[in-house]
Amino acid sequence: DSGVTQTPKHLITATGQRVTLRCSPRSGDLSVYWYQQSLDQGLQFLIQYYNGEERAKGNILERFSAQQFPDLHSELNLSSLELGDSALYFCASSVAGTSGGDTQYFGPGTRLTVL
């Protein structure tokens, strides 16, 4: 158990719909990362938040957005869903210090199926 929780575990929805994935980081971790893993793309970085502020953006579509709340939990919002958005979505958290390496701890993921 990494200490990172994600809900829901599974999500099945239809094209065109909007969903919200939730992540609670480990106690004390200030940074949250979102990753997408699809069969043909592998694990891809989407976006990083640090203490409520967006810190880095990766290959995140404009239809996707995220935020980190004052209690440090994070939500990933996916809208106008397409079949190709079906994937595993992982959240990771870290202390995100400035030195000494920064281990990311991953949650169990949310499996999104778009029909």
Partner 1 sequence: DAKTTQPPSMDCAEGRAANLPCNHSTISGNEYVYWYRQIHSQGPQYIIHGLKNNETNEMASLIITEDRKSSTLILPHATLRDTAVYYCIVSRTGNQFYFGTGTSLTVIP
33 binds partner 1 (CB under 8 A): yes
49 binds partner 1 (CB under 8 A): no
Cα separation of 46 and 56, whole Å?
9
Cα separation of 27 and 7, whole Å?
17
27 binds partner 1 (CB under 8 A): no
Contact 91, 33 (CB under 8 A): yes
Among 23, 90, 93, 112, binds partner 1 (CB under 8 A): 90
What is the bridge-based pairing of β-strands 64-68 and 53-57? Answer: unpaired
Q: What does the per-residue mask of binding to partner 1 show for 95-114, with x meaning CB under 8 A?
A: -xxxxxxxxxxxxxx-x---
Instruction: Give 10 or 71: the residue with its C-beta nearer to partner 1.
Output: 10
Cα separation of 50 and 111, whole Å?
24
Instruction: Give me the residues that bind partner 1 (CB under 8 A), please.
Output: 2, 4, 31, 33, 35, 37, 42-45, 48, 50, 55-56, 58, 88, 90, 92, 94, 96-109, 111
